[in-house]
Amino acid sequence: MAPMRRVVPFTELDRSDVGRVGGKNASLGEMTNRLGAAGIRVPPGFATTAEAYEELLAGRGLRDAVEEQVGRLHRGAPLDEVGAAVRSSFLAQPLPPPLRDVILTAYERLAQESGRKTPEVAVRSSATAEDLPEASFAGQQETYLNVRGADALLEACRRCYASLFTDRAIDYRERMGFDHMAVALSVGVQLMVRSDLAGAGVAFTLDPESGFPEVIVVSAAWGLGETVVSGRVDPDEYTVFKPSMKDPALNPVIDVRIGTKRLKTVYADTGMTRTLDTTDAERNQRVLADAEISELAAWAAAVEEHYGCPMDLEWAKDGLTGELWIVQARPETVQSRRRSTTLRRCRLTVVPGEPLVEGIAVGEAIGQGPVVALDAPLDLDRFPQGGVLVTRVTDPDWEPVMKRASAIVTDHGGRTSHAAIVSRELGVPAVVGTGNGTRILQQGRPVTVSCAEGERGRVLDGLLAYEEIMTDLAELPATRTGVMLNLADPSAAFRWWRLPADGVGLARLEFIVAHQVKVHPMALLHPERLDARDRQAVEQLTEGCPDRSQYFVDRLAYGIARIAASRWPAPVIVRTSDFKTNEYAKLLGGHPFEPDEANPMIGWRGASRYYSEGYREGFALECRALRRVREGMGMTNVVVMIPFCRTLGEADQVLAVMAEEGLVRGEKGLRVYVMAEIPANIILAEDFADRFDGFSIGSNDLTQLTLGVDRDSEALAHVFDERDPAVVRSVRSLAARAHAAGRPVGLCGQRPSDDPAFTAILVDAGLDSISVAPDSFATVKRHVARAETALESAAGRREE
């Protein structure tokens, strides 16, 4: 019989040792031994074994004491009472001398290897039933950081053993059906990375909200990583596109969002840690550069490939050496387990008022109930089932309460915070990082928490009506006519990745400018023309970005890239900005650059702006962003589309300006489409086809200009009709003549979603694609299939 091993170094462990040292420690051993060749650095350490835990239980009647309390729990004793009694039993006695001795010997070996007399270590709990693909929950047991010296190490180990019976851990095992006595605890002891002098965070190998598998999402904050995991800070978030990682000439970082990062956890002089406020400079500064993000993403991709499943990793950067390290890795257990063919969609059925508070949406559902505002966890029976939990921040102690909530709202935290991770696993909608939820939301107030409109979650007054729709995507029919998506909001693009769409038929650049850039491009280029108030607002918006034109390019490129990534490699047609002058004027700093027009709908818009002195510089920034996405990030599926192009001369001028900015039609696979929304585009279809690679019909403007009807006029609403014979004839004419010239024709608009008869007209006209809002996709797909079937039947009857 092999002798008992109470302690095993990471170098002798792999993932087959979960039953011996728990999920965390087995994974650390696996990465240490199998992934070093990929350049992945894991801090050295060791783990106590399940055998050592059993030896601990066998001493001084501890097992009997634990079994007695578990029996009381099953006879109805309060969970918190049972948990406190078990933990007291663990803490009432020292570790067995054989275990104590081997822990200290292993610690001394770490000291020798690291060259430090009393090295700082992280002491982590690793239960033998955690971090499994079928059973994972955030932070069930305790972790102690910056533990120094023999006495502090032994005390931290004792407390880790006791934490196997925290209230949250007991509750979790009860719900998961685990036998409390069959779960053992291993203590992992690992050299600390000096991230207190730099930063740390987490990385997911898929998008944690939507499950979109083609990205790696890295969150980062200053100091030790506990602030990110716990949700005490709103971290930076970086998105990396996996396909672009394959080409070293490309920058795969397709989105960078700077969090407020108001706190950081650092070493305390007396040992352990303390939390400080960050400086203004730290709050506005990125934690990681693109090269560091790419390195972490490469490691994360290697870990995912090695394990064969999506992964959730924790990383740290050493402020002394600048090196990056992986300190934990576990399977991702929420999105990777969702049925990929089922799309769940919630939708408010009433028009809501202004939100009471907003934040980051977690999940895609809607929840409602009375506000229950709490400062700390409390007895379960004092939290009503279905209440809306409102608090500053959550940690694992909150989990029994969170399980009873219909929705969760926190002041702090990002998409990888504790509140976000647990909410996803529970299927409870959450709005995190509101900043002021606890101040605004009054106790008992009925509210609706909506996470169904993209990345921003809203807390709305009252119990609003909503519906939940489940669509089995596997049952959608195949169609010859492409059905594409209209997308405007980059933050919501990933949520639709499961739809079997043929690409994006319309991505609106002006939406990205309005909601993510938030400033008129000419105001960034010519701040001297702004008044003092707008100049100050622009300075605040672009703080930390010395080149204000680069601010515009960065934000715009990141928005385009997210949409392009969501459908890669299918085509994504990006329409250059099509604000009207009154809309441009509403942007920050916009008034000095926009004329006051009597009819902006047919005024200075679309192509006419791009070559004019009043906007030529602004359009150059749009071109820089598009070129960066295509050539710098590698998303060559982006097709550029020019809106409201009135004349052939105007088309030539716009294409010339684009070429001057490095976007040359036909080079590097660049295709340029034109919106067909002016009668001139139809009348001169062959000539426009000589200049452009395809057409997309804008049915609203084409109807407006064909019938001479202001599309916004309520008085003429009865006249405005896309099915008017004049409009239909224009559509048919364009399709036939464009196809004769070898050019595809699509249509983007709302009407096919609402009118199956109009969809049938488009199918009969032979359009190559129809582009609709994502929530209408399934409906339109079925309309198209029925129209194609009817067309085939009619053709068959004619042949007979």
- From 180, 418, 520, 783, active-site residue: 418
User: DSSP 3-state assignment of 433?
Assistant: coil
Residue 35: name the closest of 407, 299, 365, 350 by CA.
299
Quote the tokens at residue 18: 């979960």
Quote the tokens at residue 593: 């650059």
Residue 469: name the closest of 337, 349, 336, 335 by CA.
349
Helices (H) and strands (E) in the chain, counts: 29, 30
Residue 501: name the closest of 596, 572, 424 by CA.
572
**418 belongs to the catalytic site:** yes
Classify each residue of 554-593 as buried b or exposed e, where b means 16 or more C-beta atoms within 10 Å of its C-beta: bbbbbbbbbbbbbbbeebbbbbbbbbbbebbbebbbbbeb
Element (H, E) at 189: strand 185-191
Quote the tokens at residue 417: 């915070």
CB atoms within 10 A of CB 788: 18
Give the whole-angstrom CA distance, residue 213 versus residue 497: 9
CB-based contact 426:406 (threshold 8 Å): no
Give the whole-angstrom CA distance, residue 694 versus residue 691: 9
Give the whole-angstrom CA distance, residue 333 versus residue 326: 19
User: DSSP 3-state assignment of 589?
Assistant: coil
Q: Is the peptide bond before 446 cis (omega within 30 degrees of 0)?
A: no
Give the whole-angstrom CA distance, residue 121 versus residue 144: 8
Which residues, at least 6 apart from 304, have a Cβ–Cβ distance to it below 8 Å?
205, 310, 311
Q: Can you give the three-state secondary structure of 606-634, one letter per residue?
A: CHHHHCCCCCHHHHHHHHHHHHHHHHHCC
Give the whole-angstrom CA distance, residue 66 versus residue 549: 65
398 DSSP assignment: G
CB-based contact 639:626 (threshold 8 Å): no
**645 belongs to the catalytic site:** no
Distance of CA 711 to the CA centre of its chain: 36
The string of DSSP letters for 78-118 reads -HHHHHHHHHHHHHTSPPPHHHHHHHHHHHHHHHHHHT-SS
Q: How far is CA 569 from CA 212, 214, 501, 572, 747, in A?
A: 14, 11, 12, 9, 21
Catalytic machinery residues: 418, 748
